[in-house]
């Protein structure tokens, strides 16, 4: 099993997950675009208890049920977290080895930026992912 390690730009926050991701996906929603400052958010979903953090992480609610975590020092966005679902999505760019990211789908493609071309053959969903 892979070990997923990463952290922020300045090194003040580090994380480690030794479990397999629940899912790996690319989100094109406007909330992710704003939070990440890019056209999409490529993230790996884990159970909250499977990810350990070191360092000071600040959070902000971007919607009633979603918290986003970032380094309190440099501002690097590190995760999104849904406590009710028990899941935490680590940003692929914060991984020490981003090549570990293996996307399985694209979600919220209705908000995809027009210059982004999706030609990887993965499933695409105009809104959220299918249940289950």
CATH code given to domain 4-125: 3.90.1590.10
Write the DSSP symbol of residue 55: S
Question: Token pair for residue 71?
Answer: 């380094």
Instruction: From 72, 84, 90, select the one nearest 36 (Cα to Cα).
Output: 90
Give me the residue spans of the domains in the chain.
Answer: 4-125
Average pLDDT over residues 105-128: 96
Confidence of residue 42 (pLDDT cuts 50, 70, 90): very high
For residue 131, what pLDDT is reported? 80
Model pLDDT for residues 9-33, shown as the tens digit of each residue: 999 999 999 999 999 999 999 999 9
Give SS3 for 74: coil
Confidence of residue 132 (pLDDT cuts 50, 70, 90): low
Average pLDDT over residues 62-89: 95
- Cβ neighbours, 10 Å, residue 21: 21
Write the DSSP symbol of residue 95: B
């Amino acid at each position: 099993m892979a070990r997923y390690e990463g952290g922020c730009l300045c090194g003040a926050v580090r994380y480690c997950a030794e479990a397999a991701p629940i899912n790996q996906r690319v989100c094109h929603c406007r909330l992710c675009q704003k939070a990440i400052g890019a056209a999409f958010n490529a993230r790996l979903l884990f159970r909250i208890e499977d990810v350990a953090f070191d360092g000071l992480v600040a959070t902000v609610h971007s919607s009633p049920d979603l918290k986003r975590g970032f380094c309190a020092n440099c501002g690097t966005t590190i995760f999104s977290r849904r406590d009710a679902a028990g899941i935490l999505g680590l940003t692929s760019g914060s991984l020490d080895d981003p090549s570990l990211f293996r996307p399985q789908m694209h979600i919220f493609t209705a908000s995809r930026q027009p210059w982004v071309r999706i030609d990887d053959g993965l499933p695409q969903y105009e809104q959220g992912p299918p249940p289950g």
